[in-house]
Structure 1
Amino acid sequence: MFAEEMWSYMDEEVRAAYGRPYFNDVVASRMLINRSGEANLTSVTDALADALVQKYPQERYQPMGLDLFIRVFVAQHFPEWVYDYFFIEFMNKLG
Structure 2
Amino acid sequence: MSESIRRAMLIILDGVGLGESEDNSGLSLANTPNLDVLLNDYPMSKIDASGNSVGLPEGQMGNSEVGHMVIGCGQIFKQDLVVINESIRDKSFLLMKV
Q: TM-score, normalised by structure 2?
A: 0.25
The structure where helix makes up a greater share of residues is 1
